[in-house]
Amino acid sequence: MPVRFEVTDRWWPTMGTRALDLAEKGVQLSSGEKAEAERERQSRERRLASPPFVRRDQIKLEKSSHRGVYIGDIVSPDIGLATHMLSAEIQHIPPGVHTECHRHGERLVHVMTGTGYSMIDGVRYDWEPGDSIHIKTGVWHQHFNTGSEPANFFVSSAARLLEQMVAYPLVYKGDNFSDVSDDFQPEHPFGLGPQEIVPVDPNEKWNSSVHMNRKERVDALEKRSRESRTMIKWNQAKIERSQHKGDFKVALIEPVLGFDTRLVTLSIHQMPPASYTETHKHEEAVVWIRTGRGYSIIEGERYDWQAGDCMHIQPGVWHQHFNTDPERVSQHLAIMPTPLLEQVASFVGLEVVEEDEPESIPENYTPKLPWEYDYSVPWPKKP
């Protein structure tokens, strides 16, 4: 369950930021902490050099390796953005063209122009502008533009993060290994003596409860994914007041709507004419200007925007949005890695409570690794 916390003077969002902070204060660090501090320093330099906006005239459609698809990179390292997790691009399919059938990691698709359908896991989903589609992890799919106009998708994902996490499946080659007799009793690792092995799988001698449970969890996740929602039509979207204060939120691909999105979410933030939000900060986010014009204050700097521009908000950066049009709303597509962070970073960083009188280490103390001690193993233990 997520842990609620308040940011204090003794809190750091990552171990790297703590290491760099302490290094700058002259605190003694281990070799590993020094390396963390250096990685954070380099990362900070990249973030500072990373532009917070991609202008619409920077986005160029190029023919890609995917049959029938042109891609316009928006949030990508190749245009100088220091993105940690998120990626965004425009995918363009000419009239009457369809893609090849393919599958990959999770993607969120928002239809901007065009009409057609997608075959996803054997089911047909017809789409038109304003619809949003959840492409689930590993699901076969194919897009068809059946209209007379080009189809343009705004596609977002956590591709940058997944590049660092190679989820390679467990595969056995099928060659020989050293088998033992069925009645072989291995020694207990903590001195309880030889142990009788009780089979956990009646169909497979070499298996464990750990591996069987892992398969059960994977099967349960796949079942949950299959039964979850795949698409939301434009006329099913509901508008509500936002926690941001000053704007309204339209959830598109969110768990609350029945989507089993594991990494990122997609929603629209809509600002009334001549309005502005409360200043706030959060995790990394991509904000694409769908309609309208205005400006944002990011870390004290003003950046004007119009429809087609895209903001890349770095983690923990103060920002505030202003709609300067006195008559029209502005709409912003927001992509955030909220589901991912809820699972893997419910309490982020490190927080320290400073003791009034911390215990001091004797000056003549020499630390030793476990195998450097001369001691007898306190085994066998009694059950």
Domain ranges of the chain: 1-49, 58-164, 233-344
Q: Are 77 and 160 in contact (CB under 8 A)?
A: yes
The CATH label, of 3.40.50.300, 2.60.120.200, 2.60.120.10, 1.25.40.80, for the domain at 233-344 is 2.60.120.10
Homologous superfamily of 58-164:
Jelly Rolls (2.60.120.10)
Using 50, 70 and 90 to split pLDDT, how confident is the model at 6? very low
> Which of these ranges, 203-207, 220-224, 330-334, 351-355, has the smallest mean pLDDT?
351-355
Q: pLDDT tens digit string along 202-257?
A: 988 999 999 999 999 999 999 999 999 999 999 999 999 988 788 999 999 999 99
- Give the integer Cα–Cα distance in Å for 113 and 232: 16
So what's the pLDDT on residue 354?
Answer: 56
Q: How many C-alpha atoms does 368 have within 13 Å on its Cβ side?
A: 8
Taking CA 267 as the corner, what is the angle to CA 55 and CA 247, rounded to the nearest 5 degrees?
85
In 42-76, which positions are buried (b, 16+ CB within 10 angstroms) versus exposed (e)?
ebeebbeeeebbbebebbebeeeeeebbbbbbbbb
Q: Hey, is 241 helix, strand or coil?
A: strand
Higher per-residue confidence, 14 vs 173 = 173
Highest mean pLDDT among 114-123, 340-349, 367-376: 114-123
pTM (two decimals)? 0.83
- Give the integer Cα–Cα distance in Å for 33 and 226: 43
Task: For the chain, give the mean pLDDT.
Answer: 87
Question: Measured between alpha carbons, how far is residue 198 from residues 207, 209, 292 in Å?
Answer: 11, 11, 67
So what's the pLDDT on residue 2?
Answer: 41
Higher per-residue confidence, 3 vs 375 = 375
Q: Residue 60 — φ and ψ, nearest 5°?
A: -120, 130
> Which of these ranges, 16-30, 59-73, 115-129, has the smallest mean pLDDT?
16-30
Taking CA 254 as the corner, what is the angle to CA 252 and CA 256, rounded to the nearest 5 degrees?
115
Q: Are 29 and 21 in contact (CB under 8 A)?
A: no
